[in-house]
Amino acid sequence: MLVRIGSRGSRLALTQAEQAAEAIRRPGVEVAFVPITTAGDRDRKRPFGEIGARGVFVKEIEEALLAGRIDIAVHSAKDMTSADTGGLAVGAYLLRDDPRDALVGATELRPGMRIGTASARRRAQLLALDPTISVEPMRGNVDTRLRKLRERGLDAIVLAACGLDRLGLGAEIGARLDPEQMLPEAAQGALALQVRTGEEERVAHADDPETRRRVAPERQCVATMGAGCLAPVAAHHDGTTLQGLIAHEDGLWIERRSGEDPQALARELVELAAAHAAAGEPSLQA
């Protein structure tokens, strides 16, 4: 039986697709990779929010899955829309890799640093930690960002630690940022195997229950906040506690809470953001 796996075509995406293939391979099952170019891949200059809503790296892959051109979609779970797309389901989450953000080019955060990132979540938290930090926009795949770090003379960039690890570039990491310092993106570090609804058995044997237990409430929390691609929000479950975060895009205020119910936690955070707006403080830019 031939199983067609769809993913983005970058070196990291294809490495992740191979991880997925290893997880689902069984006797009699052949795997074919189908690289798919997404809106986020085609436009490498504009900020994500100008390209479209959250999901700029998954929409075309989901369309191929719904149309029957592929059988399984492999995503970095953090890139997915927070709510499942109609007709599709996450049939498996592979064992989660390091969910933390990584500082590359420096071993610690220092006042006055020039740091590159395309993430509003990272930008907000960096500026909340130290408003003297200069955050500069940076797009591109991992290799491109490492090159731009040196070409632009930046002090550091921030990337997902898992991506560097998967590419064998862990030695580039100067510091892995503790979630207490930098709360990760919801589902960061997890790979999602998406299938058509009703076909979950294709990948069910590859599902890691503990990863699902943590990632599902993270995604639900962010979905309840209704955050767009550039909204400075985060959610992370450490195995014991679910934490959520909402912030002003320039780090002028930041709210972080924990709770058991992801929806209740999200509503609390949204209410706190509304309170900042009611007090005349800058409001959330979603």
Pair 92, 209: CB distance under 8 Å: no
pLDDT at 139: 84
CA triplet 275, 137, 60: central angle to 5 degrees? 90
Active site residue 79: yes
Angle between helices 142-151 and 11-24 (to 10 degrees): 150
Reported as a single tens digit per residue, the pLDDT across 227-238 is 544 569 999 999
pLDDT at 26: 84
pLDDT at 226: 80
> Does the structure show a pLDDT above 70 at 186?
yes
Please state whether the predicted TM-score (pTM) of the whole model is above 0.85. Answer: yes
Output 150 or 84, whichever has higher pLDDT.
Answer: 150
Which of 226, 241, 247, 225 has its CA nearest to residue 121?
A: 247
Please indicate whether the domains covering 2-94+190-208 and 101-177 agree at the CATH topology level: yes
pLDDT at 286: 40
Q: What is the CATH number of domain 101-177?
A: 3.40.190.10
**What's the length of the chain?**
286
Number of C-beta neighbours around residue 12 at 10 A: 20
Pair 157, 135: CB distance under 8 Å: no
For residues 207-217, average pLDDT: 98
Fold classification of 2-94+190-208 is D-Maltodextrin-Binding Protein; domain 2 (3.40.190)
pLDDT at 278: 85
Reported as a single tens digit per residue, the pLDDT across 100-110 is 999 999 999 99
Reported as a single tens digit per residue, the pLDDT across 27-38 is 888 999 999 998
Candidate list 79, 97, 98, 101, residue with the active-site label: 79
Q: Could you state, in order of their start, the residue ranges of all structural domains in the chain?
A: 2-94+190-208, 101-177
pLDDT at 229: 43
For residues 254-278, average pLDDT: 94
> Does the structure show a pLDDT above 50 at 207?
yes
Task: Report how far apart, in Å, the C-alpha atoms of 181 and of each of 4, 79, 90, 168, 264 are.
Answer: 40, 22, 30, 25, 23
> Does the structure show a pLDDT above 60 at 285?
no
> Does the structure show a pLDDT above 60 at 54?
no
